[in-house]
Structure 1
Amino acid sequence: MSLFAGTSSYYRQYRPGIPEEVATVLDRAVAPGWPRRLLDVGTGTGLVAEALLGRFDDIIAIDNDPDMLAAAEEALRPQLPGGASLALVESTAENFKPPTGWQADLVTICRAFHWLDQATVLALLDEQVAPGGAVAIFGDNSFWAADSPWKQSVRVVVQSFLGEERRSGNSTFKHHDRPYSEIMEESPFNQVEEIRVPVHRTWSTKGILGYLYSTSFAAPHLFGDRLGEFEAAVENALAQHSTEDVFLEDNEFLIRIGRRGTA
């Protein structure tokens, strides 16, 4: 079973998209020109590709979850600008092979690098990225980070149902103890620039539950026949923090852009 089995509809509707400021940073990471090729690794429901439509005219987006790709197809195909190309490919990053002669100007990996064989993927990308191209690894903080009182309350509820350790589907999440920039510095893309983009969001109870159901640590199937009980517990916990069903979040995207060093 996929780590994200049963989450695609929630992912598409409730996962925060890519802010315009982040899309601008990604756009500026590589030189302008046409054709301009994007490889989006672990695309999920296509949130990154969607944010970069119109900035890249040749896009390949890969994911190993067919339900996620179906949701991406439904969302992205109608928005595709005239003359642009979009291919959605069911594949892991470790097994992906681009079309003969195809090289990306930019590779994006958003909220997915921790699932990958990181050194292997970065080494493989050396053949898949054009000269002068870049690899961008980025993401914002998960609710599991619990950096505010209402998030802490939500995490406590999740833990009371599923255990203290963060779940990863039917297993537990394995934390990486090395900064991604350090891993990138040992790869072909060893010239690394870090950029931080703050984001401010407003949530409701419905949106928070939808977000939780989009994650591998609180996917609906993990709760079995206790899903209704879990929802009631989350609603009760959140009610202690707001009588108006408004929950503010201060977050940020940390973007790491790696380029090949000069010889």
Structure 2
Amino acid sequence: MTLNSTQRFTDRVADYVKYRPSYPQEVVSFLHETCGVAPAARVADIGAGTGISAQLFIAAGHPVIAVEPNQAMRAAADSWLGDSGLFRSVAGTAEATTLEAASVDLVIAAQAFHWFDPATARREFARILTPSGLVALFWNSRRLEGSPFLAGYEALLRRYGIDYTLVAERYADDAAMAEWFGQGFLHQARFANHQRLDLAGVQGRLMSSSYAPKPGHANYAPMQAALRTLFERTAQDGEIELTYDTWVYVGRPA
């Protein structure tokens, strides 16, 4: 499987829309109250995908331009958010957004950030930001332990996922983010997030991941069987809980 980030989710859009978690409202509150982002700040959501992160800011009253190279994901975002009056999307990448210089007050990038070329994206973010603008990078990091389901799910991914380890290792830690921002690093925070899912929900959540084997792959049936067994062993009242830490890093691109 290729690590081509612009196309590897094309055949997973329906599951992505339905089963991927959103982000805590505290992310927007933190940006307003701690980081000084104005309530009507113009937002560029880079690698916006199906619009999950954009929706959070639209709900808070921000106009959002979604920059997304994958046509199928961009179409899903347009369908969901296009009537809001605060949303528009463009075909672009983190390294070449197509946006005008100094045209936005806040650049955000959520779950997609680990797919970007770091140095080129930083230069592009600096170009499209106003002089006082900020970058906010945030993502959900699934907890790998803490319950029998969480530990079992991680083991399942490592056993059956196609390139799970390679993808998982792309996520940055605190030190890497401090290095990326350099002298422009201002704030960071962590918020708890979770999903409660029935069996269909956890199956859909798994299949929204680019490293999950699709039907026809040798690992597909064994992975689905292992997931069902894990769910039946650990579910309470017909549901399991996926728990995340939402990490937020804010600053100016140096």
The answer, yes or no, to whether TM exceeds 0.5 is yes
Q: Which amino acid aligns with 2:190?
A: R
- In the TM superposition, what is the alpha-carbon distance from 1:152 to its structure 2 partner? 2.2
Looking at structure 1, the residues matched to 163 and 147 of structure 2 have their Cα atoms a distance apart, in angstroms, of 18
- In the TM superposition, what is the alpha-carbon distance from 1:181 to its structure 2 partner? 2.6
**Runs of 5+ in structure 2 lacking a partner?**
none
Q: Which residue of 1 aligns with 2:90?
A: 89
Where in structure 1 do 4 or more consecutive aligned residues deviate above 4 Å?
Answer: 172-178
Q: Which amino acid aligns with 2:75?
A: A
Q: Which amino acid aligns with 2:179?
A: I
Segment of structure 1 superposing worse, 230-239 or 49-58:
49-58
Residue of structure 1 aligned with 2:179, choices 162, 180, 183: 183
- In the TM superposition, what is the alpha-carbon distance from 1:3 to its structure 2 partner? 2.0
Q: Which residue of 2 aligns with 1:231?
A: 224
Q: Note the 1:95-174 alignment, pairs <5 A.
A: 95-99=96-100, 103-142=103-142, 145-162=144-161, 166=165, 168=167, 174=170
1:179 alignment partner, SS class: helix
Q: Note the 1:9-88 alignment, pairs <5 A.
A: 9-28=14-33, 29-32=35-38, 36-78=41-83, 80-81=84-85, 84=86, 86-88=87-89
- In the TM superposition, what is the alpha-carbon distance from 1:14 to its structure 2 partner? 0.4
- In the TM superposition, what is the alpha-carbon distance from 1:174 to its structure 2 partner? 4.5
1:7 alignment partner, SS class: helix
Q: Which residue of 2 aligns with 1:192?
A: 186
* RMSD, aligned CA: 2.8
- In the TM superposition, what is the alpha-carbon distance from 1:127 to its structure 2 partner? 1.4
Looking at structure 1, the residues matched to 250 and 174 of structure 2 have their Cα atoms a distance apart, in angstroms, of 17
1:44 alignment partner, SS class: coil
Retained in 2: the 8 A contact 1:14–1:210? yes
Matched pairs, number: 248
- In the TM superposition, what is the alpha-carbon distance from 1:178 to its structure 2 partner? 6.8
Q: Which amino acid aligns with 2:38?
A: P
Segment of structure 1 superposing worse, 103-112 or 191-200:
191-200
**Runs of 5+ in structure 1 lacking a partner?**
none
- In the TM superposition, what is the alpha-carbon distance from 1:149 to its structure 2 partner? 2.3
Judged with a 3 Å threshold, the aligned counterparts in structure 2 of structure 1 residues 56 and 27 are, in CA distance, closer, same or farther, namely: farther
Segment of structure 1 superposing worse, 49-58 or 9-18:
49-58
Judged with a 3 Å threshold, the aligned counterparts in structure 2 of structure 1 residues 205 and 42 are, in CA distance, closer, same or farther, namely: same
- In the TM superposition, what is the alpha-carbon distance from 1:58 to its structure 2 partner? 3.2
Retained in 1: the 8 A contact 2:32–2:39? no
Judged with a 3 Å threshold, the aligned counterparts in structure 2 of structure 1 residues 113 and 150 are, in CA distance, closer, same or farther, namely: same
Segment of structure 1 superposing worse, 176-185 or 131-140:
176-185
Residue of structure 2 aligned with 1:256, choices 243, 249, 253: 249
Retained in 2: the 8 A contact 1:44–1:69? yes
Looking at structure 1, the residues matched to 52 and 130 of structure 2 have their Cα atoms a distance apart, in angstroms, of 23
Looking at structure 2, the residues matched to 174 and 33 of structure 1 have their Cα atoms a distance apart, in angstroms, of 32
Retained in 2: the 8 A contact 1:30–1:132? no
Judged with a 3 Å threshold, the aligned counterparts in structure 2 of structure 1 residues 197 and 33 are, in CA distance, closer, same or farther, namely: closer
Q: Which residue of 2 aligns with 1:206?
A: 200
Question: TM-score when scaled to structure 2?
Answer: 0.84
2:249 alignment partner, SS class: strand
Judged with a 3 Å threshold, the aligned counterparts in structure 2 of structure 1 residues 89 and 146 are, in CA distance, closer, same or farther, namely: farther
Looking at structure 1, the residues matched to 79 and 14 of structure 2 have their Cα atoms a distance apart, in angstroms, of 11
Identical positions, percent: 23
1:183 alignment partner, SS class: helix
Looking at structure 1, the residues matched to 20 and 157 of structure 2 have their Cα atoms a distance apart, in angstroms, of 18
Judged with a 3 Å threshold, the aligned counterparts in structure 2 of structure 1 residues 234 and 113 are, in CA distance, closer, same or farther, namely: same
Residue of structure 1 aligned with 2:234, choices 229, 241, 252: 241
1:53 alignment partner, SS class: helix
